[in-house]
């Protein structure tokens, strides 16, 4: 029994701990907490992978990620903290992005609202009845008619498919899980200036990809995707996302090819590691049972 326990200890994998990239933008900050995208490739902090980025680890150590096939790490996790409204925007799907954006992935994403001011709203969807009305409203600047706003509060969750008009508004903090893509089409940017010039818009591309009419759907779920006593938020063909609460102790089973973990509130420990709000790490393939201790909220995601 002791020999088996000792062998298990020697074989136990370590969490892959990441140093996020933080970007300051016209409307606030983006922390690319788990990213191997060329525009924000996180450094791996583990001593055994010293000097490597997440993209290098994906290519050189595929066994850590369950030998998942693909030429790039497929997911990207951000914390977005706004002090002003983001542009009204839309993302393409894989097919459109591949053909028009140099082989990029499309951008399916989801938002967990970490914090929001009282009576906060977001933009999600539009009010046009069909594609012709989408074009007319955009080209004629009928923004109050076009834009659809919904109220939000801390703890809300939204699944945003490609073709969905959306925007985060000021004084809101979200955890975003998305495909590893940096393709955003700005439909409208409130005529604001950056360095004395209007920011680039992508009106043609936006009209090409906006889905009309907009239909609000519930996030798809998959009861077969379980990792323990945590709440599943969405399970799509691109990712599954869970929300876990550590109240003293939370046990999960890492039974995915890899499991992305982002602490969004509080502090917790796992094995010999301590994590606080804003920390991000990956539980690699075959990590097995994970027991978190402390008081915290964690967003988990995988394929």
**Residue partners of 183: CB distance under 8 A and separation at least 6:** 91, 92, 97, 101, 104, 105, 106, 107
Q: How far is CA 72 from CA 68, 105, 242, 280, 285, in A?
A: 10, 10, 23, 19, 17
Active site residue 135: no
How far apart (Å, rounded) are the C-alpha atoms in residues 284 and 64?
5
Q: Which of 186, 192, 199, 289 is catalytic?
A: 186
Burial class (CB in 10 A: 0-12, 13-18, 19+), 51: exposed
- For residue 225, the SS3 value is coil
The conformational region for residue 228 under phi > 0 = left, psi -120 to 50 = alpha, else beta, is left
Residue 174: closest CA among 241, 242, 79: 79
Q: What is the CA radius of gyration of the chain?
A: 20
Burial class (CB in 10 A: 0-12, 13-18, 19+), 92: buried
CA 128 to chain centre: 27
How far apart (Å, rounded) are the C-alpha atoms in residues 197 and 199?
6
Tell me how crowded residue 264 is: count the other CB atoms within 10 A of its CB: 19
- Taking a C-beta distance cutoff of 8 angstroms, is the pair 141, 57 a contact? no
Residue 73: closest CA among 42, 46, 116, 115: 42
User: What are the residue numbers of the active site?
Assistant: 186
């Amino acid at each position: 029994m002791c020999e088996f326990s000792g062998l298990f200890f020697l074989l136990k994998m370590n969490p892959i701990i990441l140093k996020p990239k933080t970007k300051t933008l016209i409307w606030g900050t983006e922390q690319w907490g788990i990213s191997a995208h060329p525009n924000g490739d996180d450094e791996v902090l583990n001593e055994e992978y010293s000097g490597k980025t997440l993209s290098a680890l994906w290519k050189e150590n595929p066994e850590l990620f369950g030998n998942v096939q693909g030429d790039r790490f497929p997911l990207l996790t951000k914390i977005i903290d706004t002090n002003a409204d983001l542009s009204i925007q839309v993302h393409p799907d894989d097919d459109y992005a591949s053909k028009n954006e140099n082989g990029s992935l499309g951008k399916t994403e989801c938002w967990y609202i970490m914090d929001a001011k009282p009576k906060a709203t977001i933009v999600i969807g539009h009010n046009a009845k069909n594609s012709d009305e989408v074009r007319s409203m955009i080209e004629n600047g009928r923004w109050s008619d076009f834009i659809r706003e919904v109220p939000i509060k801390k703890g809300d969750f939204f699944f945003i498919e490609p073709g969905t008009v959306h925007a985060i508004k000021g004084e809101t903090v979200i955890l975003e899980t998305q495909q590893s893509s940096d393709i955003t089409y700005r439909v409208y940017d409130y005529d604001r200036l950056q360095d004395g010039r209007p920011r680039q818009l992508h009106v043609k591309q936006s009209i090409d990809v906006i889905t009309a009419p907009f239909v609000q759907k519930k996030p798809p779920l998959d009861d077969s995707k379980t990792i323990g006593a945590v709440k599943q938020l969405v399970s799509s063909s691109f990712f599954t996302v869970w929300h876990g609460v550590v109240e003293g102790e939370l046990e999960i089973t890492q039974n995915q090819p890899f499991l992305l973990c982002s602490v969004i509130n509080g502090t917790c420990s796992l094995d010999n590691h301590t994590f606080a709000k804003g920390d991000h790490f990956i539980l690699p393939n075959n990590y097995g049972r994970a027991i978190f201790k402390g008081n915290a909220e964690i967003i988990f995601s995988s394929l």
